[in-house]
Chain A
Amino acid sequence: MDNIVVNLTVNGQSYRGETRPNQTLLYLLREDLGLTGTKDGCSEGECGACTVLLDGEPVNSCLVLAGQADGREVLTIEGLAQNGALHPVQRAFVESAAVQCGFCAPGLIMSSVALLKRTPNPTAGEIRTALGGNLCRCTGYTKIVEAVQRAAEELKHG
């Protein structure tokens, strides 16, 4: 199988690389780019630990082939903090005690960032539906919902 060349923008930076056709975006990020914040929880698009934003849309990066990400923009957990300062959603997760082992957190945070962009004032029900593709085995989700509500408040007041 011939290698393919992909050009994409990751966290605002252009990346060009050669990779195998059966490489997923998840492993392009983790292995070729060293961005290990995005996790592999299930390899089958069920758990959401691999969630990144692809052209602003939350997707399971384990279900995107590297070749399908060619020419597109990817935002990962590493791309959220600006100048060393945590993104409001990251900060809210920390302050709301919504992180225990932390494995689900990057995916949950990316899904939450996407939610708040499209629905700045989500109800608790809307939050739970939006995060339905992200599994957490530690927290029971209550603090996660609180974190998103906290972040929504903060983003509203800028």
Chain B
Amino acid sequence: MQEFYFESPPTLDEVCRRLSDTGGRLIAGGTDVIPQMQTGRFQADWLIDLSRVTELSYIAPKNGSIQIGGLTNYIKLINSPLLQAEGPLLVQAAELVGAVQTRYRGTLGGNIANASPAGDTLPPLLALNAAVTLVSTAGGRTIPLADLLQGPGQTALAPNEVIHHISFDRLPANATSIFLKLGNRRGMAISVVNVAVLLQVDQDNRVEEARIALGAVAPTPIRCPQAEAILKGQPLTETLIEATAESAKQECSPIDDVRASAGYRQHMVKVLVRRGLQMLGNKG
């Protein structure tokens, strides 16, 4: 691993200051940073450690939304009664990231900053219409997650910005959601395809709201606006589910890579979207 200077400031202010002063990069759980430093993909002369800024590890309600601090690890997400109630698809995703050892170290902010097209928490956050609040010595800003993710491993983060928290509006009581992951193993696997579906169906089985997000099948995780439009306002039938799944398949643009071919991924998008909608339909 390359050589670097290392600091572990105890406060957020100091992290921001040192990040700006040194032109360095952040490390939190290290589950992506360290492997990438081993291969040289991630480089830094200064490494500023976030792990002492424990105030950034929280899940809390705030003014009709749910806020999650950037330093919150997957175990905390999984064990949170608030998140189990208000964002079950995100909990399901957190349960499937890596393995136990990864989940005790990896953070939600890290999953976002790493910006893998296959990042498991990202489709759920997109389906939740999540926004990300960033801070730096220059101030703060909040932008939709969809705007923050710009390409494989690329974000709109300035070099001196820290992910402070992620937030999403609380869902109505009749909202149901699911996250499905296809990987080459059941544990410690990077997603070949992952799918997040969020539905609101009224008592006449008519779809009030539909959100479908896909991962590992485009340069970034994506929503499927055309598939969502097929569902909206319609009764949730098998025929409709089939058409929606087919549309999602057309809306993605996967590539061949070491884990799977583009064709297989495209096929599995349709399978998983159909399956997710069927599972949610059966719940209602």
Mark A residues whose CB is within 8 Å of B. 1-2, 4, 20-22, 24, 43-46, 48, 51, 54, 57-60, 62-65, 67-68, 70, 111, 114-115, 129-134
The 4 closest A-B pairs by CB, nearest first: A133-B99, A132-B187, A21-B6, A44-B35
Chain B residues with CB under 8 Å of A45's CB are 31, 34-35, 98, 101-102
B173 at the interface (CB under 8 A from A): no
Q: How many A-B residue pairs have C-beta atoms within 8 angstroms? Tell me.
A: 93
| B interface residues (Cβ-Cβ under 8 A, vs A) | 1-6, 8, 27, 29-31, 34-35, 37-38, 47, 49, 51, 75, 98-102, 104-105, 186-188
Instruction: Please list 8 pairs of residues, one from A and one from B, whose beta carbons are closer than 8 Å in the complex, sorted by A's number.
Output: A22-B6, A43-B38, A45-B34, A45-B101, A45-B102, A57-B75, A65-B27, A133-B99
B30 near A64: Cβ-Cβ < 8 Å: yes
Residue of B nearest to A46 (CB): B188
User: Residues of B contacting A129 with CB < 8 Å?
Assistant: 100, 187
With CB as the reference atom, state the residue of chain A lying closest to B3. A1
- Chain B residues lying within 8 Å of A111, measured Cβ to Cβ, are 100-101
B109 shortest CB reach to chain A, Å: 16
Does A133 lie within 8 Å of B49, measured CB to CB? no
Identify which of B101, B187, B188 contacts A59 (C-beta below 8 A). B101
Task: Please tell me if the beta carbons of B3 and A20 are within 8 angstroms of each other in the complex.
Answer: yes
Contact (Cβ within 8 A) A133 B102: yes
Cβ contacts under 8 Å, B99 to chain A = 48, 132-134
Task: Pick from A24, A58, A65, A68: contact of B101, CB below 8 A.
Answer: A58
A66 closest partner in B (C-beta): B6
Interface pair B3/A68, CB less than 8 Å apart:
no
* Interchain CB contact under 8 A, A63 and B5: no
- Inter-chain CA distance A115–B75, complex, in Å, is 13
Q: Among the listed B3, B75, B105, B186, which residue makes an inter-chain contact with A22, where contact means beta carbons less than 8 Å apart?
A: B3
